[in-house]
């Protein structure tokens, strides 16, 4: 069971979505199952409420992986990662907007980009206390209510996304012309990139590339039989070869390999088990 919802108004500038997942009736095996998670350009926060910790792998050939505890922050990425999805699990988490990292965790987004970080390294004892209180909260719906309250309590009274970054995020939803957007902000190119990376975790150019890739996956999810070349051109790729190179960079797969695996969620692709 997966519950997800838009948070209360005070959190909406910083938290895109909160979610709670209960897979305690899952038929997954105790070990071995894993999936490849594709980049979204966003950060996420997650608490595991069941016994097994979060475990991630360097790549699909990594047999052992690395356990990072029961609470993690996933930095913004432009590459896929592999995680364990074995056994029944319960988790609560949030998808974060640009600018939330500094306010919630006290560090800039670029410091956490491209990796998973144990939340205890950033928030200390608050993490263990929060997990215990989430465990005691009861149903997934009650856990979501409580999780919202905890996140809201971490925000300072005065907050806001830098105006230049806010303007760029709005424009990048419609255009990937970074040079023109920088000109509109009246900041130097170098200063703007610093501001953007600190808030988002990726450079403006890389962030726009991830957005373009997302448009393809979203169209593919809506129209599974659509031709790749059509999706690529509509999303803004110059040609099929350009699209194929970038798709493989962001997924580790060719477009047809992705289609053959038929992921039920666009960004979560079943990964094959490595040979031991």
Q: Report the C-alpha gap between 249 and 235 in whole angstroms.
A: 16
Name the class of domain 2-154.
Answer: mainly beta
Please write the tens of the pLDDT for every residue from 89-131: 889 999 999 989 988 898 999 999 999 999 999 999 999 999 9
Mean pLDDT of the chain: 88
- What dihedral angle (degrees, nearest 10) is formed by the CA atoms of 127, 132, 133, 135? 120
Please write the tens of the pLDDT for every residue from 187-210: 999 999 999 999 999 999 999 999
In the DSSP assignment, the letter for residue 42 is: -
Contact of 172 with 211, CB cutoff 8 Å: yes
Residues counted in the chain: 276
3-class SS of residue 265: strand
pLDDT over 70 for what percent of the chain? 93
pLDDT at 158: 47
C-alpha neighbours within 13 Å on the C-beta side of residue 252: 20
Is residue 157 over pLDDT 80? Answer: no
pLDDT over 90 for what percent of the chain? 55
Highest mean pLDDT among 6-15, 72-81, 263-272: 72-81
pTM: 0.82
Q: What is the side-by-side order of every strand in the sheet holding 34-37?
A: 66-67, 55-57, 81-84, 34-37, 268-270
Q: How many CB atoms lie within 10 A of CB 51?
A: 10
Instruction: List the end-to-end C-alpha distance of the chain, in Å, as a whole number.
Output: 32
Domain ranges of the chain: 2-154, 163-202, 205-270
pLDDT at 150: 87
Please write the tens of the pLDDT for every residue from 212-260: 999 999 888 888 888 999 999 988 898 889 999 999 999 999 999 998 8
Question: What angle (nearest 5°) sits at the alpha carbon of residue 152, between those of residues 149 and 156?
Answer: 150
**Nearest in space to 166 (alpha carbons), one of 181, 177, 183, 179:** 181
Please write the tens of the pLDDT for every residue from 177-186: 999 999 998 9
pLDDT at 194: 95
Q: How many CB atoms lie within 10 A of CB 238?
A: 9
Is residue 18 over pLDDT 90? Answer: yes
**Strand blocks (E) in the chain:** 2-5, 15-22, 34-37, 43-48, 55-57, 66-67, 71-74, 81-84, 90-96, 116-118, 268-270
| Stretch among 42-46, 164-168, 260-264 having the lowest mean pLDDT | 260-264
pLDDT at 276: 46
Note the maximum CA span of the chain.
Answer: 56
Angle between helices 189-200 and 163-172 (to 10 degrees): 80
pLDDT at 74: 97
pLDDT at 273: 62
How would residue 13 be classed by pLDDT, with cut points 50, 70 and 90?
Answer: confident
């Amino acid at each position: 069971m997966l519950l997800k919802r838009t948070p209360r108004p005070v959190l909406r500038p910083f938290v895109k979505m909160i979610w709670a997942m209960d897979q305690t009736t899952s038929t997954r095996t105790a070990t071995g199952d894993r999936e490849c998670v594709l980049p979204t350009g966003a950060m996420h926060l997650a608490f595991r409420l069941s016994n097994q910790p979060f475990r991630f792998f360097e790549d699909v050939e990594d047999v052992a992986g690395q356990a990072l505890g029961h609470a993690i922050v996933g930095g913004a990425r432009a590459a896929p990662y592999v995680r364990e999805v074995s056994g029944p699990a319960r988790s609560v988490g949030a998808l974060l907007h640009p600018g939330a990292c500094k306010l919630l965790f006290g560090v800039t987004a670029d410091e956490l980009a491209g990796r998973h970080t144990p939340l205890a390294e950033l928030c200390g004892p608050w993490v263990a206390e929060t997990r215990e209180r989430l465990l005691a909260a009861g149903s997934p719906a009650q856990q979501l209510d409580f999780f919202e309250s905890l996140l809201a309590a971490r925000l300072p009274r005065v907050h806001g996304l830098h105006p230049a970054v806010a303007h760029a995020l709005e424009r990048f939803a419609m255009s990937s012309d970074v040079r023109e957007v920088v000109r509109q902000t009246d900041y130097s190119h170098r200063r703007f990139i610093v501001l953007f990376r600190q808030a988002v975790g990726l450079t403006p150019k890389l962030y726009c590339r991830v957005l373009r890739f997302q448009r393809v996956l979203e169209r593919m999810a809506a129209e599974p039989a659509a031709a790749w070349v059509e999706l690529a051109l509509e999303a803004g790729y110059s040609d099929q070869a350009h699209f194929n190179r970038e798709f493989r960079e962001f997924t580790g797969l060719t477009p047809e390999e992705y289609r053959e695996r038929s992921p039920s969620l666009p960004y979560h692709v079943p990964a094959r088990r490595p040979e031991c």
